[in-house]
Amino acid sequence: MIKFQYNKTSLQQLEKQLKVRVRTLPIIKNKESALRMEVKRCKSDAAALDAKLEKEIQAYEAMFALWNEFDTSLIKVSDVHLGVKKIAGVRVPLLENVDFEIRPYSLFNAPKWYADGLHLLKSLAHTAIEREFTVAKLNLLEHARKKTTQKVNLFEKVQIPGYQDALRKIKRFMEDEENLSKSSQKIMKSHQEKRKEAEA
């Protein structure tokens, strides 16, 4: 409910508030549509990364018998470089790079496929980390989109009509007051004229 009083000050304040909301609404709508598009794009990115991860896991499983020989301590993630990107005013994390630490191993004593195995594990880890970032980004964008949609609905369906209704009521009240004032002045005038005539 919009609180107001039946006077000019309240009328001016409400008009100012209404103007702000009417001016802001298209901007918020644009933000909402930009976020909606970004959420859609992010969902397709996540789906593509899921498919890529699945494919890489299948490649890993194809060499399953060989992995028993593999020394898993040879490779580990040493660092994940983050960035921040603003999308329609929303700060989202950005994966810039993943650093791997590969322990030295003997090329002569280790099986020939170790190099391919290391490459496969690097790719698998990178895709899994990238997917996590995409899901985090998607959640942030989805949350921001919902909030923006709520704001659009609040402005469009509640506040703007509420302010317009309140302004109508104040204007009507002030017009009625003015009309009453005019008619009471006319009545007073006619009473005074009748009194003057009676005295004369």
Does residue 18 register a pLDDT over 80?
A: yes
pLDDT of residue 65: 73
In a domain, 46, yes or no: yes
Does residue 21 register a pLDDT over 80?
A: yes
pTM for the model = 0.75
Q: What ranges in 75-159 are assigned the alpha helix state H?
A: 114-153
pLDDT digits (tens, 9 = 90+) for 58-80: 887 877 777 777 777 888 999 99
Supply the range of the domain harboring residue 73: 8-160
In a domain, 189, yes or no: no
Return the closest-CA partner of residue 125 out of 101, 92, 93.
101
**What span, in angstroms and rounded, lies between the C-alpha atoms of 67 and 79?**
24
Q: What CATH code is carried by the domain that includes residue 35?
A: 1.10.287.3240
pLDDT digits (tens, 9 = 90+) for 87-114: 888 999 889 999 999 988 887 787 787 8
In a domain, 95, yes or no: yes
Q: What is the CA radius of gyration of the chain?
A: 35
Report how far apart the first and last C-alpha atoms of the chain are (Å, whole number): 58
In a domain, 112, yes or no: yes
pLDDT digits (tens, 9 = 90+) for 115-140: 888 888 899 999 999 999 999 999 99
In a domain, 129, yes or no: yes
Provide the pairing of β-strand 75-87 with 90-102. antiparallel
Count CB atoms within 10 A of the CB of residue 163.
22
Return the closest-CA partner of residue 170 out of 22, 20, 23, 9.
9
In a domain, 79, yes or no: yes
In a domain, 155, yes or no: yes
Domain count along the chain: 1
Q: What ranges in 63-113 are assigned the alpha helix state H?
A: 64-67
**What span, in angstroms and rounded, lies between the C-alpha atoms of 71 and 104?**
11
In a domain, 184, yes or no: no
